[in-house]
Amino acid sequence: MNFNQIFKQLIKVSIAFIFTLIVIGSLTSLSNSIFVDKILEDLSANSINKINQVKSELADLKKSLDFNKKRIPHTVVGRKELLEEILQQERIIDSFAYVDSPEKAREHLEKINKDLQNIEAVLSHSVIGRDKLVKKINQQKSDIDAFKNMIVLSSSIQNLDLNEDISLSEPANIAIEEKKVIIQAPKLSFEEELALASIEVGAKLSKKCTACHSLNSAGGNRVGPSLWNIVEAPKAKVDGFSYSASLSSIGGTWTVQDLNLWLKSPKKYAPGNSMSFAGLRKIKDRANMIAFLNSISDEPLPNNGLK
């Protein structure tokens, strides 16, 4: 075999080798592309599942909130805890308002777009941990796409171009009719207020009494009688104190119901008595005061004196 034949053979082999590399490279590129698409597809599916889960849990939470609100008028014991639970439920629902509110949905979309831009900015200046940032960016993009495609919004928000650069655009003018429902707390009876009463709040209110009454076991009488052990004590019977005839003639004991009427208006409860105190107008204040009076005792009664 002469030199020319050897040279031609080498050229053929080289061309075949180069062609093989090109084919392998193309297949590898195609395989990588399919692999990346599969990852992004999985991420998107995961994002869609997250949004659907939020919507499902939010619907359940709203049902629970409606049920709790219906319980309020009929709840005495545990009312404070129930009100706190309702407040917490309302806060959670408000934090996911973008599910139902077009305006909140746009704000949420702006936020997750800005989050994506911040992550991409970090990636552009990072050397270490780039793989994690790329994965996070892909997840954020999938979250954004899933949000655009899956969340149920009103017709107003659906007409928006959700592919626009939200972070650079001016807020769209969306006509939204807001209906504010004001839920008024039901008025509680004296017994209900007393069941929820605060000794600490009552202690603050008792400062009105200290000019005339002592509030401790060793205080003795002043302008008025000592109020220690006053709940369920006989009326007008504190040793060493001279009572008016109008109060002495009433008889009985200082039940929480009697104290409620006395604290509301001493003059109406016992006309002609020497008490100068005008009274406490609010039921809640009287309940808190009685809870405190019950606490300043050798043996405070359970349930603030309610029977």
Which residues does residue 93 pair with via DSSP β-bridges, in sequence order? none
Same domain, 126 and 212: no
Statement to judge: residues 32 and 154 lie in one domain: yes
Task: Mark whether 299 and 231 lie in a shared domain.
Answer: yes
Please check whether residues 218 and 108 belong to one and the same domain: no
Q: Which domain holds residue 235?
A: 190-305
Q: What's the pTM?
A: 0.43
101 and 227 assigned to the same domain: no
24 and 146 together in one domain: yes
DSSP 73: G
Instruction: Name the domain count of the chain.
Output: 2
Specify whether the CB–CB gap between 263 and 280 falls below 8 A.
yes
CB-CB contact of 294 with 182 (8 Å): no
User: The tokens 């629902």 sit on which residue?
Assistant: 93
143 with 216, same domain: the answer is no
Task: Answer yes or no: are the C-beta atoms of 292 and 199 closer than 8 Å.
Answer: yes
Looking at this protein, which amino acid is placed at residue 146?
A
For residue 111, the Cα-to-chain-centroid distance in whole angstroms is: 21
* Predicted local distance difference test score (pLDDT) of residue 19: 53
pLDDT tens, per residue, the chain with 307 residues? 545 555 556 566 556 555 555 544 544 444 444 444 444 455 555 555 666 676 777 778 788 888 888 888 877 778 888 888 888 888 887 777 666 666 777 777 777 788 778 878 877 777 677 888 788 888 778 777 766 665 544 333 444 444 444 443 333 343 434 445 455 556 789 998 999 999 999 999 999 898 899 999 888 899 999 999 999 999 999 999 999 999 999 999 999 999 999 999 999 999 998 888 889 999 999 999 999 999 999 999 998 888 8
Do 83 and 135 lie in one domain? The reply is: yes
In a domain, 40, yes or no: yes
Predicted pLDDT at 122: 77
pLDDT score of 306: 87
Dihedral angle at the C-alpha atoms of 263, 267, 269, 272, nearest 10 degrees? 140
